[in-house]
Amino acid sequence: MKIFCIGRNYAQHAKELGNAIPDEPIIFAKPPTALLKDGAPFYHPDFSDDIHHEAEIVVRIAKNGKHIDPKFAHKYYDHLTIGIDFTARDLQSRLKTKGHPWEIAKGFDGSAPIGQFVALSTLPAVNNIGFTLLKNGQPVQNGNTANLLFDFDTIISYISKFFTIQQGDLIFTGTPEGVGRVQIGDVLEGFIGEQKLLHCEVK
Ligand code: ZN
């Protein structure tokens, strides 16, 4: 199982971090040990003082494929959830300044909590899915897939040029604006529409 992530896929988020808007998808990956499921807590690592939440729609790949044409990409996924791409922003900034890969700032253990999956068929149109992250009961991120720079089909087609996608692979599709720091004791809750799918406590 592979976990792909898309960087800077919402213009307002690229702007809040002072990044340019990309002209093709920015792809990185997390190892399977990053995954947190079923409401498991996130243990705050001690190598960072600035772990950020990035709430994202997560697409689950339903069948294997390679070199997928964008017009057929919709056949390769049928379930979604909300997840958090935890990011050690302090480490990432240091690595970016040096021009180094940011893997350790993004792929560490527990950096990819995901909620329960829901069938795409039960959701509104794929290009109009609203999602929300609450931190300690307060909304901190609100996104809608209408604002994606690269939609799911484009992302899947692009990834499949380089990697064989396999059933069960996950794609974190990018975060909207509102990212911010988490601390021990915080409770994060993720919603698609009104439906709560993700619960993650920071310990
Ligand atoms: Zn992200």
> Where residue 177 falls among pLDDT bands split at 50, 70, 90?
very high
Q: What is the mean pLDDT of residues 63-70?
A: 98
* Ligand 1 geometric centre to CA of 132 (Å): 15
* Ligand 1 geometric centre to CA of 125 (Å): 22
* Ligand 1 geometric centre to CA of 39 (Å): 20
Q: What confidence score (pLDDT) does residue 132 get?
A: 98
* Ligand 1 geometric centre to CA of 174 (Å): 5
Strand segments, DSSP code E, in 2-157 are 3-7, 26-30, 35-36, 51-53, 55-61, 77-84, 87-88, 112-113, 118-119, 130-135, 138-144
Q: What confidence score (pLDDT) does residue 145 get?
A: 97
* Ligand 1 geometric centre to CA of 52 (Å): 10
Residue pair 70/152 in contact by the 8 Å Cβ criterion? no
pLDDT in tens, 24-52: 999 999 999 999 999 999 999 999 999 99
Q: What confidence score (pLDDT) does residue 66 get?
A: 98
* Ligand 1 geometric centre to CA of 155 (Å): 14
pTM: 0.97
Amino acid at 104: I
Q: What is the mean pLDDT of the chain?
A: 97
Q: What confidence score (pLDDT) does residue 124 get?
A: 85
* Ligand 1 geometric centre to CA of 69 (Å): 25
Q: Give the whole-angstrom CA distance, residue 42 versus residue 202.
A: 5
pLDDT in tens, 112-156: 999 999 999 999 899 999 999 999 999 999 999 999 999 999 999
